[in-house]
C-alpha cells in the first residue's frame, strides 16, 4: 500500500520553474464569453484506497461550487505527492499552467512573477481569517502569494506501556530528562529508546525540531540562514554525545533512518519516544499502542516553540482572476476546510475553522487540540526563499553526519551554511 506523504517539505520539481520565461495565457483564462473552466491540480493525501482518495473531496467541492456558480466549470486532477510538484512544474514549463495548484511550495513561481497575490484574489474577510503565523509563511518580500491549505505541528509521542515497564512516571520536559528516560528505557530492554530519523525522508523536519529546542533555527528574523549558529552547534554536539553517543537511539544509524521506519517501529511497540505528527495517532491506535503526546522538550525545559508545516494553494496569472477568487473564497469556507482536515487528521489554517474544531467535542477533535494549540506560535520552514528546495536537499544529504562518533559538528554545519548562502546569493 502506498503511504501518503504528510505535508510536503519542498517542491523539488518546482525549482526549475523560476527559470522559465513568462508564459502566455492558457485557454481557461482567456477573454471572451461563455462558461469559464478552472483547472485545478492537487496532491493526494489518501492511503491508496479509493474511498480515502482526495479526489472525492475535490470533486465534491467542485460540484457544490458549480451548483452556485453556473458560469464556471471546475476540472480536477489529483496526483500523488511523489509526482505532483514535478507535474505542475512541467505544466508551467510547457506553457500549460493550471489555474490553481495545491502542492508543496510556491516560492519559485512567485519569484518568477507567475502567481496572483492573495489580495488580488481573496475577499478581505478570507484574507483576515488565515492564522497570522501561517499566512506570513506564504509571503515573498512581504506580499502573500502562497495560500496555506492545511497545516500540522509536532509533539513528542511516548509509549505508555514501555514507560511503565521502565518505571518512568514523569514525562520529560528537558533534554536532560529525555536522556534520563531513554537510559531507563534502554535498561528495560526497549530496542529504540528515542527514535532519531535523520535519514533522507524528512531530515529537515527532525533537524528543525532539535534546532528550535536548542534556541536556534534555520534563519534569523531577517530571513538570513543561521545554520552554523552557536545554538545549533551546541544542539547537535549534545545529540552526538548525549543521545547517539550513549547508544540511546537504537541499533540503526540515524543518518540512514527514515521517519516512517520509526513510525512503523513505534506501532510495533519497539520505540519509547519520538517526534510525531497527527497521522501517527491513527497508525498507533490501529496497532493498539497506548501513547501520550506531550510538548517538545527543550534544552532547559519545554521548547519555546514547535515546528509548523504547511502545504500551499496558488493561482497562476494565466487564470481568470474573478472566477478563481470566487472559487478560493468558497474553498476557505469554514465547513469546507473542516471537511478536509477532518478526513486526514490535519489542522485548519483559518481562525474560524480552528475555533470550530476547538468547540467540537468529538474524540478525534479532542486528540488534535494539543497540535492545534501551539499552531499560532509555530515556526515554519523558510518556504518563502527560492533557495529552500536546494538547501533542504543538502540537509537531507549531510545533516546525519553531525551525530556520528567524533563528528566535527561545527565543520559540517559550516559546510551546509556555505552552500545555503551560495544558493541564496550571499557572499561570505
10: pLDDT strictly greater than 50: no
Facing residues of 348 across strands?
none
| pLDDT tens per residue, range 191-207 | 999 999 999 888 999 99
Among the residue ranges 28-32, 110-114, 182-186, 406-410, the one predicted with the least confidence is 28-32
Look up residue 116 and give its three cell numbers. Answer: 496572483
Assigned CATH topology for domain 13-151+308-373: D-Maltodextrin-Binding Protein; domain 2 (3.40.190)
Nearest by Cα to 47 from 204, 339, 195, 260: 260
Q: For residues 129 and 383, which has the higher predicted lDDT (pLDDT)?
A: 129
SS (H, E, C) 304-362: CCCEEEEEEEEEECCCCHHHHHHHHHHHCCHHHHHHHHHHHCCECCEHHHHHHHHHCCC
Mean pLDDT calculated for residue range 27-46: 75
Look up residue 239 and give its three cell numbers. Answer: 545529540
31: pLDDT strictly greater than 50: no
**Percentage above 90 pLDDT, the chain:** 80
Rounded alpha-carbon distances, angstroms, from residue 122 to 66, 118, 128, 147? 18, 6, 10, 10
22: pLDDT strictly greater than 90: no
Note the pLDDT of residue 76. Answer: 97
**34 pLDDT tier (thresholds 50, 70, 90):** low
Query: 162, 190 in Cβ contact below 8 A?
Result: yes
**47 pLDDT tier (thresholds 50, 70, 90):** confident
Note the pLDDT of residue 20. Answer: 38
**428 pLDDT tier (thresholds 50, 70, 90):** low
Q: For residues 193 and 105, which has the higher predicted lDDT (pLDDT)?
A: 193
295: pLDDT strictly greater than 50: yes
Q: For residues 34 and 377, which has the higher predicted lDDT (pLDDT)?
A: 377
Q: How far apart are CA 58 and CA 42, in angstroms?
A: 8
Q: For residues 280 and 35, which has the higher predicted lDDT (pLDDT)?
A: 280
350: pLDDT strictly greater than 80: yes
Mean pLDDT calculated for residue range 364-386: 90
Note the pLDDT of residue 50. Answer: 83
**411 pLDDT tier (thresholds 50, 70, 90):** very high
Same topology between domain 13-151+308-373 and domain 155-305+387-424: yes
| pLDDT tens per residue, range 111-160 | 999 999 999 999 999 999 999 989 999 999 899 999 999 999 999 999 99
Residue for grid cell 565543520 = 411
**425 pLDDT tier (thresholds 50, 70, 90):** confident
- Domain coordinates of the chain in residue numbers? 13-151+308-373, 155-305+387-424
Among the residue ranges 103-107, 248-252, 407-411, the one predicted with the least confidence is 103-107
Note the pLDDT of residue 19. Answer: 38
**82 pLDDT tier (thresholds 50, 70, 90):** confident
Average pLDDT, the chain: 90
Pairing of strands 100-103, 307-315: antiparallel
Q: For residues 52 and 37, which has the higher predicted lDDT (pLDDT)?
A: 37
Look up residue 167 and give its three cell numbers. Answer: 518505571
Note the pLDDT of residue 111. Answer: 93
How wide is the angle at C-alpha 151 spanned by C-alphas 52 and 358, nearest 5°?
90
**26 pLDDT tier (thresholds 50, 70, 90):** very low
149 Cβ contact partners less than 8 Å away, ≥ 6 residues apart: 102, 310, 311, 312, 313, 349
Note the pLDDT of residue 24. Answer: 35
Note the pLDDT of residue 365. Answer: 87
The CATH homologous superfamily for domain 155-305+387-424 is Periplasmic binding protein-like II (3.40.190.10)
Among the residue ranges 30-44, 191-205, 271-285, 386-400, the one predicted with the least confidence is 30-44
Note the pLDDT of residue 51. Answer: 83
Mean pLDDT calculated for residue range 335-362: 93
Note the pLDDT of residue 427. Answer: 54
Note the pLDDT of residue 21. Answer: 37
| pLDDT tens per residue, range 63-78 | 999 999 999 999 999 9
Amino acid at each position: 500500500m502506498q503511504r501518503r506523504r504528510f505535508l510536503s517539505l519542498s517542491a523539488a520539481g518546482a525549482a526549475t520553474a523560476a527559470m522559465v520565461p513568462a508564459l502566455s495565457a492558457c485557454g481557461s483564462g482567456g477573454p471572451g464569453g461563455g462558461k469559464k473552466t478552472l483547472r485545478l491540480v492537487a496532491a493526494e493525501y489518501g492511503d491508496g484506497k479509493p474511498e480515502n482518495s482526495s479526489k472525492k473531496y475535490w470533486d465534491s467541492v467542485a460540484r457544490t461550487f458549480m451548483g452556485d456558480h453556473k458560469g464556471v466549470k471546475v476540472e480536477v486532477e489529483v496526483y500523488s505527492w511523489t509526482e505532483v510538484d514535478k507535474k505542475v512544474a512541467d505544466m508551467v514549463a510547457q506553457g500549460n499552467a493550471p489555474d490553481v495548484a495545491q502542492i508543496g511550495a510556491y516560492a519559485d513561481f512567485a519569484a518568477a512573477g507567475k502567481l496572483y497575490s492573495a489580495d488580488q484574489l481573496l475577499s478581505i474577510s478570507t484574507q483576515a481569517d488565515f492564522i497570522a503565523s501561517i499566512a506570513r509563511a506564504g509571503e515573498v518580500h512581504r506580499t502573500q502569494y502562497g495560500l496555506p491549505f492545511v497545516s500540522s505541528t509536532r509533539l513528542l509521542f511516548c509509549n505508555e506501556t514501555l514507560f511503565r515497564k521502565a518505571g518512568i512516571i514523569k514525562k520529560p520536559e528537558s533534554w536532560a530528562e529525555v536522556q534520563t528516560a531513554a537510559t531507563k528505557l534502554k535498561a528495560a530492554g526497549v530496542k529504540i529508546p528515542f527514535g532519531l530519523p535523520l535519514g533522507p525522508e524528512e531530515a529537515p523536519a527532525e533537524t528543525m525540531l532539535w534546532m528550535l529546542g536548542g534556541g536556534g533555527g534555520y534563519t534569523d528574523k531577517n530571513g538570513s540562514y543561521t545554520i552554523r549558529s552557536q545554538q545549533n552547534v551546541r544542539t547537535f554536539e549534545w545529540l552526538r554525545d548525549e543521545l547517539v553517543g550513549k547508544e540511546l537511539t537504537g541499533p540503526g544509524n540515524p543518518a540512514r533512518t527514515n521517519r516512517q521506519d520509526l513510525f512503523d517501529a513505534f506501532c510495533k511497540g519497539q520505540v519509547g519516544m519520538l517526534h510525531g505528527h497527527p497521522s501517527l495517532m491513527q497508525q498507533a491506535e490501529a496497532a493498539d499502542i497506548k501513547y501520550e503526546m506531550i510538548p517538545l522538550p527543550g534544552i532547559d525545559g519545554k521548547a519555546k516553540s514547535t515546528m509548523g508545516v504547511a502545504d500551499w494553494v496558488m493561482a497562476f496569472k494565466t487564470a481568470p482572476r474573478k472566477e478563481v477568487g470566487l472559487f478560493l473564497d468558497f474553498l476557505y469556507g469554514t465547513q469546507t476546510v473542516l471537511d478536509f482536515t477532518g478526513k486526514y487528521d490535519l489542522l485548519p489554517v483559518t481562525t474560524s475553522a480552528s475555533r470550530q474544531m476547538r468547540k467540537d467535542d468529538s474524540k478525534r477533535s479532542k486528540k488534535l487540540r494539543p497540535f492545534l494549540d501551539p499552531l499560532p506560535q509555530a515556526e515554519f520552514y523558510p518556504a518563502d526563499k527560492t533557495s529552500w528546495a536546494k538547501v533542504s536537499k543538502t540537509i537531507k544529504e549531510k545533516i546525519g553526519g553531525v551525530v556520528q562518533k567524533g563528528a566535527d559538528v561545527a565543520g559540517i554545519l559550516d559546510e551546509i551554511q556555505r552552500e545555503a548562502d551560495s544558493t541564496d546569493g550571499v557572499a561570505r
